[in-house]
Structure 1
């Protein structure tokens, strides 16, 4: 404690020395200098690098997707006729089993008798309708569509509409 400082009322000599030490520190310590231009330049560089990286990833992902769609799409469209593709999708049965799993059964072109046996095996109730079609597949009375069909799952006890064809 310096001799010219008188302790305020209620302050101990230690408290007064502490106040004096803090005042000396405040008055003699240099203020820190920050180079804001360098900090801003570094932040801009990091932001630009991040944007470039994200843009590159998106371009690569888009090009990969386009190549994959082009390669897969061109082969799958010409490998089978559209009518056969539609018939296969609408004649696939997705059954939810009692243990929580699923079973898939493709019934395209199957006879009505075999379709009935398959549906009864899964505990389903079949209802049959017939449509006349010039391009009916052999055997006559073959399954051409199911309702509901995959991806809709059916459960034991549900009714499934089976459409067969004749010429």
Structure 2
């Protein structure tokens, strides 16, 4: 019997040789795992579609159907989702055409200074400013925009404002 310190002609000690043989036997005896790629892909797609259906159902149940319709309309612009339903009075809301996307701009309750700043942002011109009276309005606040929703305003157009006389 030889000790583990003896060197074999292969250049390995008996321990190293035994270790190599054990590792070879283990590598040869285990089976490779079997992955079903198409099944994994089907499961992933099914989970994704169920998730989308759940989110859609939650939006519709919560009253987000309008937002869902705006997103699923398939507009070419990535900002198409910005379009929203106007909830305030159409008389104080202006629809601004920004490269094919209609963006509602609500002036209700704003004073003349803030309204002028908003017109500068949309690159529209301020036309005439008239005074009017509406029940329970804050003096100096915008109570009317011309043209207003559903008409669309483009850059360079003139917008007339009506403010509360008090």
TM-score of the two chains, using structure 1 as the length reference: 0.44
Which entry has the higher C-alpha Rg, 1 or 2?
A: 1
Considering fraction of residues, name the structure with more helix: 1
